[in-house]
Structure 1
Amino acid sequence: MTDRLTRKPIAIAADHRGVALKARLTAWLETEGYAVKDCGTGSAAERVDAMDYAVALVTEIKQGRSDFAVGICGSGQMMAIAANRFPFIRATLLHTVEEAASARQHGDANLLALGADTLDGTTAEQMLRLFLTTPALGDRYAERRERLARLDPSAL
């Protein structure tokens, strides 16, 4: 296995549609030796809003308790959209395993958004493995990330 990029717990959360995939990925993370911070929800029985769980993940990163987070909802869209409202978050919504390396290398993504309705568990595990073991590239990609951090939406 490639070197890990963090020793901190991986924060993970899901809405009601992502509970089963969250349980599978939590078990996979623990089997791989990662600590896990479960930020909810624990039940698929009651409808909840993915946005609330995206904010819980963002909080874990903001407070320095986690370097990486995984957010799961039906499509993954709301997890990514809500998380990306915060300037220190670089959430990525992936559809293929190959995208995981690019998201980390080029964008230094720190929150992986997944669609429980669109991914099978094996593919999600493969994405997560690459996401947690692929370092960000330097050079022009580092410059791009620095520019991204300086974007000022209030200037528009």
Structure 2
Amino acid sequence: MKKIAIAADHAGFEYKELIKKYLEGKYEVQDFGTYSTDSVDYPDFVHPSASSVESGENELGILICGSGNGVQITANKHQKIRCALCWMPEIAALARQHNDANMISIPARFISKELAFEIVDKFLNTDFEGGRHQNRVDKIAFC
């Protein structure tokens, strides 16, 4: 069973809980928080979830906040993370196919719950195409 990391801030808490329930039985989901709608600092939850994907403890990750931007920016500070901001399923598919994205961020304040489920499905069920895209992905890391 594929292992998925999930994390959110207070604005993404409701969607995180719904997505976790939606994925039950299909995936093993590790919840990195937050655990309520109380105001929090998203890096406190994003860094541990991104580290778990970076280390291989989890295969992929899903992040949720109001705009999707803060969690994405934070996750992408990790050398081996490629987190894509996804607001439609087609973006999630391309993020996997062309960029080998291993995390996505979802903007909870701007999309419906149903669309969030479609995005998650597309992300989790699309493979990296490799080929000409592998060379580009290999050039992303800067160290």
TM bracket, shorter-chain basis: over 0.9
Per-residue deviation at 1:49?
1.0
Query: After TM superposition, where is structure 1 displaced by more than 6 Å over at least 4 residues in a row?
Result: none
TM-score, length-normalised on structure 1?
A: 0.87
Among 65, 68, 71, the alignment partner of 1:73 is: 65
Per-residue deviation at 1:62?
2.6
Count of matched residue pairs: 143
- Unaligned stretches of 5+ in structure 2? none
Distance 1:147 1:117 in 2: 33
- Given that 2:54 and 2:78 are in contact with CA atoms closer than 8 Å, whether structure 1 keeps it comes out as no
- Given that 1:53 and 1:71 are in contact with CA atoms closer than 8 Å, whether structure 2 keeps it comes out as no
Among 27, 32, 37, the alignment partner of 1:39 is: 32
Q: CA RMSD in A?
A: 1.1
- Unaligned stretches of 5+ in structure 1? 1-6
The higher radius of gyration belongs to 1
User: Within 5 A, what are the aligned runs for 1:5-154?
Assistant: 7-31=1-25, 33-44=26-37, 46-149=38-141, 151-152=142-143
% identical equivalent positions: 36
- Name the SS of the counterpart of 1:148 in structure 2: coil
TM-score, length-normalised on structure 2?
A: 0.95
